[in-house]
Chains A and B, each alone.
Chain A
């Protein structure tokens, strides 16, 4: 079963890379992410799979918003040459790189190392994680306990990306509400009504994911993305524009600082050894902070993209 899925995966990947029209790229990329998420699922990694789904949905949104701006901006495009080309030219363009990469891939496969897996660390983690960190989800307890130092930098990465998106994009000083992007008319159509019903469901689901992060798949990141998607839906329906970037950005930074301080207090200073009863609250708090941070970050990025190039 997994092999069939992997073949699909490769096919959709090739499609995504070779596609010429931007909308096809988006569709193929979405399918690619979907199938890879299912593969991760079959590999026994529901957390990663969920993160991948969340990420794929958001990168689809980013890609769409960006490509929309891109269309209006790019004027110079070299036309694709006509199909009848000389073989030598086509060879230079396509066959040569293909042979090159194929040769490297063959070399790669020739030197493949021994396939036996050293399970030392795996067994150690599976044996110890309930004792050391608590919770039922081993991946989460590594993510928030043993390797929380990495997680801090990963949150920092999101923060930097938010800062850089805000720095690189620019917008008019006074932007009023305009319904340019979201093609939804404000009439009471079926879809607007239904999405309105779904929005709270999304919020509730996000909160559920956050609170259950340590015992079932999910966690801060996934829940945060769900909450951020609530705001995207809100944008789609109401087309509101009332986001105060400055305040949210400072608030996001503060969330991150709290995250660091909490991790330092609890893990770095070794409080978790003396106070084992605080372990589950710690996991919950971390998940919540990460979710807040991720949600703020994605909201800022999304609204920046929408506002980008608006004059």
Chain B
């Protein structure tokens, strides 16, 4: 259970980075880090409560978080190119 608190503390640090991050890429970085932490949190939770099916959730989270992230990245890339 101790690990969970530390993970939460990390999440807080990442949120600060996301908010103050000087560039948009820092924000994206923070977002992906948060999603990684969330997945680890869920794995830890599933481990503590000893329920295997909760891991499906971690899987789906990894996939969907990835999709939205790459979409944002492509989008910004495209926009900054288009403005040239």
Do A and B touch directly, given a CB cutoff of 8 Å in the complex?
yes
Whether the pair A38, B41 counts as a contact (CB closer than 8 A) is: yes
In whole Å, how far is B27's beta carbon from the nearest beta carbon of chain A? 5
On chain B, the residues within 8 Å of A57 by CB distance are 64-65, 67-68
User: Looking at the complex, which one of B5, B12, B18, B38 makes contact with A38 (CB distance below 8 Å)?
Assistant: B38
**Bound-complex Cα distance A232 to B53 (A):** 26
In whole Å, how far is A66's beta carbon from the nearest beta carbon of chain B? 11
On chain A, the residues within 8 Å of B38 by CB distance are 34-35, 37-38
Q: Is the interface of A mostly helix, strand, loop or mixed?
A: helix
User: Looking at the complex, which one of A11, A35, A41, A182 makes contact with B45 (CB distance below 8 Å)?
Assistant: A41
| Centre residue among B12, B31, B61 by max chain A CB count within 10 A | B61
Stretch at the interface among A22-30, A73-81, A83-91, A289-297: A22-30
On chain A, the residues within 8 Å of B19 by CB distance are 15
User: Looking at the complex, which one of A5, A12, A23, A34 makes contact with B76 (CB distance below 8 Å)?
Assistant: A23
Interface residues on A, range: 35 or more
In whole Å, how far is B5's beta carbon from the nearest beta carbon of chain A? 7
Whether the pair B60, A64 counts as a contact (CB closer than 8 A) is: no
**Bound-complex Cα distance A37 to B45 (A):** 14
Whether the pair B78, A226 counts as a contact (CB closer than 8 A) is: no
Question: With contacts A5-B8, A8-B12, A11-B15 known, is A64 near B41, CB below 8 A?
Answer: no
Interface residues on B, range: 35 or more
Whether the pair B31, A30 counts as a contact (CB closer than 8 A) is: yes
In the complex, whether A159 has a CB less than 8 A from a CB of chain B is no
In the complex, whether A284 has a CB less than 8 A from a CB of chain B is no
**Bound-complex Cα distance A50 to B74 (A):** 25
Whether the pair B60, A222 counts as a contact (CB closer than 8 A) is: yes
Whether the pair A23, B15 counts as a contact (CB closer than 8 A) is: no
On chain B, the residues within 8 Å of A60 by CB distance are 68, 71-72
8 Å CB contacts to A: which residues of B1-29?
Answer: 4-5, 8, 11-12, 15, 18-19, 24, 27-28
In the complex, whether A140 has a CB less than 8 A from a CB of chain B is no
In whole Å, how far is B80's beta carbon from the nearest beta carbon of chain A? 9
Whether the pair A30, B68 counts as a contact (CB closer than 8 A) is: yes
Q: Is the interface of B mostly helix, strand, loop or mixed?
A: helix
**Bound-complex Cα distance A34 to B64 (A):** 10
Whether the pair A31, B31 counts as a contact (CB closer than 8 A) is: yes
Q: Mark A223-237, 1 if CB is under 8 A from B, else 0.
A: 001100100110010
Whether the pair B64, A56 counts as a contact (CB closer than 8 A) is: yes
Which residue of chain A has the shortest Cβ distance to B19 in the bound complex?
Answer: A15
Q: Sorted from nearest, which 9 A-B pairs have the closest CB atoms?
A: A57-B64, A216-B53, A183-B78, A60-B68, A57-B68, A64-B75, A183-B77, A27-B27, A183-B74
Q: Which residues of B contact A (CB under 8 A)?
A: 4-5, 8, 11-12, 15, 18-19, 24, 27-28, 31, 34-35, 38, 41-42, 45, 53-54, 56-57, 59-61, 63-68, 70-72, 74-79, 81
Q: Which residues of A contact B (CB under 8 A)?
A: 1, 4-5, 8, 11-12, 15, 23-24, 26-28, 30-31, 34-35, 37-38, 41-42, 46, 49-50, 53-54, 56-57, 60-61, 64-65, 68, 71, 180-184, 191, 195, 198, 201-202, 205, 208-209, 212, 215-218, 222, 225-226, 229, 232-233, 236
Known: A53-B60, A226-B63. 7 other contacts (CB 8 A): A4-B8, A46-B53, A64-B71, A195-B70, A198-B63, A215-B53, A217-B56
